[in-house]
């Protein structure tokens, strides 16, 4: 019995020592800046870390539907409200949570928008574990960085310097029309949401509440990815968690997407003209909440006006 106890204590001591070493090494392996050269992953989504502290009113998380559908600069032009899209391709909800945690470190948004497609994305068990554990042991996420580490990695962090000029939005003005023959056919069937994903949405809701932000569920238009069964599933979840849910796929009058011209890949994602319609709807929605202040006349936000001018010049040149 004594021998077993000593063995268990030895194993516990070894495990504790290993955790201490990994925790210490994490400070070395974590990128010292949010740039690609510094080793940061998903730099568009993490570009919010380079924004001035407490300067973003609305944070959006989600997969590629979010960054192709929502243009913060268009919302700025209409309302003077600031927003940032922390979107990434095939984003898992566990990473959505990570991005929000990072955003809340420097920002105090009043509203968080979760684009709902990722709620249906099955998350590999190892990814869930990795995203959870790496919050405390970042070395597990960045262990491959040893291949490219330099002397700068042994110095204290120099702050985050990168942010995207379009605030996470990714412009695309190509056109490739969609087939809408079976799009949003009504049904009472309900698409099932994985249990882990339901729990993660609840955790994201609690994270928002703890930081004084409202959580909004938003489905952006997509003939490829959305249907009425999925709509019903998200509505059921929203009712369960007492969250507001807006499905733009059910609002053709308010968001009149022309599927022959407003998508660049046959209905999977919206192009520039489609994103303008979604962004205009969101601008009106945000104004209706009366939660935000128009900052267009504030000199602290003059860079937004400059970025908007540059963006509109680029769009006009490309058209």
Range scoring the smallest mean pLDDT among 65-79, 97-111, 221-235, 304-318: 304-318
Spans of all domains in the chain: 33-120+158-318
Residue 253 above 90 pLDDT?
Answer: yes
Q: What is the pLDDT of residue 219?
A: 98
Q: What is the pLDDT of residue 29?
A: 54
Which of 86, 119, 91, 123 minimizes the C-alpha distance to 101? 86
Q: Is residue 28 exposed (0-12), middle (13-18) or buried (19+ Cβ within 10 Å)?
A: middle
Q: What is the pLDDT of residue 316?
A: 84
CA-derived radius of gyration, the chain: 22
pLDDT band at 27; cut points 50, 70, 90? very low
Q: What is the pLDDT of residue 40?
A: 77
Residue 24 above 50 pLDDT?
Answer: no
Average pLDDT over residues 283-307: 97
What superfamily does domain 33-120+158-318 belong to in CATH? SGNH hydrolase (3.40.50.1110)
297 phi and psi angles, rounded to 5 deg: -95, 5
Query: What span, in angstroms and rounded, lies between the C-alpha atoms of 88 and 76?
Result: 22
Residue 28 above 70 pLDDT?
Answer: no
Average pLDDT over residues 38-49: 88
Q: What is the mean pLDDT of the chain?
A: 87
Residue 14 above 80 pLDDT?
Answer: no
Residue 318 above 80 pLDDT?
Answer: no
Query: What span, in angstroms and rounded, lies between the C-alpha atoms of 53 and 106?
Result: 5
Average pLDDT over residues 252-262: 98
Which of 176, 171, 182, 170 minimizes the C-alpha distance to 263? 176
Tens digits of per-residue pLDDT, 125-168? 888 777 776 666 565 555 454 455 565 555 555 566 789 999 99
Residue 10 above 90 pLDDT?
Answer: no
Average pLDDT over residues 66-75: 98
Q: What is the pLDDT of residue 223?
A: 98
Residue 15 above 60 pLDDT?
Answer: no
| CB 12 within 8 Å of CB 65 | no
Question: 115: which 2 tokens?
Answer: 């684009």
Range scoring the smallest mean pLDDT among 22-31, 161-170, 194-203, 220-229: 22-31
Predicted structure pTM score: 0.86
Residue 241 above 60 pLDDT?
Answer: yes
Residue 11 above 70 pLDDT?
Answer: no
Q: What is the pLDDT of residue 36?
A: 74
First-last CA distance in the chain: 79
Query: What span, in angstroms and rounded, lies between the C-alpha atoms of 18 and 137?
Result: 11
């Amino acid at each position: 019995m004594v021998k077993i106890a000593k063995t268990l204590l030895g194993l516990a001591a070894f495990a504790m020592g290993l955790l201490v070493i990994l925790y210490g090494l994490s400070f070395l392996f974590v990128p010292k800046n949010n740039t690609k050269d510094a080793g940061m992953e998903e730099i568009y989504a993490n570009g919010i870390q380079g924004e001035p502290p407490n300067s973003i009113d609305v944070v959006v998380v989600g997969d590629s539907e979010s960054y192709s559908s929502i243009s913060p600069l268009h919302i700025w032009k209409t309302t003077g409200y600031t927003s940032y899209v922390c979107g990434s391709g095939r984003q898992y909800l566990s990473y959505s949570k990570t991005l929000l945690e990072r955003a809340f470190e420097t920002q105090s948004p009043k509203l968080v928008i979760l684009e709902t497609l990722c709620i249906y994305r099955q998350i590999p068990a190892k990814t869930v574990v990795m995203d959870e554990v790496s919050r405390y042991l970042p070395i597990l996420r960045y262990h491959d960085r040893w291949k490219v580490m330099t002397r700068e990695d042994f110095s204290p962090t120099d702050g985050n310097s990168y942010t995207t000029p379009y605030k996470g939005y990714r412009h695309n003005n190509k056109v490739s029309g969609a087939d809408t023959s079976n799009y949003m056919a009504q049904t009472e069937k309900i698409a099932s949401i994985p249990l882990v994903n339901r729990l993660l949405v609840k955790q994201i809701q609690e994270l928002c509440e703890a930081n004084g932000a409202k959580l909004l569920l938003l489905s952006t238009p997509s003939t490829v990815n959305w249907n009425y069964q999925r709509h019903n599933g998200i509505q059921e979840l929203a009712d369960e968690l007492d969250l507001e849910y807006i499905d733009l796929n059910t609002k053709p009058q308010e968001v009149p997407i022309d599927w022959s011209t407003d998508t660049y890949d046959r209905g999977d994602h919206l192009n520039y003209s489609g994103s303008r319609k979604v962004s205009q709807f969101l601008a009106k929605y945000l104004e209706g909440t009366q939660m935000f202040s128009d900052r267009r006349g504030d000199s602290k936000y003059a860079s937004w006006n400059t970025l908007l001018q540059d963006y509109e010049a680029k769009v006009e040149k490309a058209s």
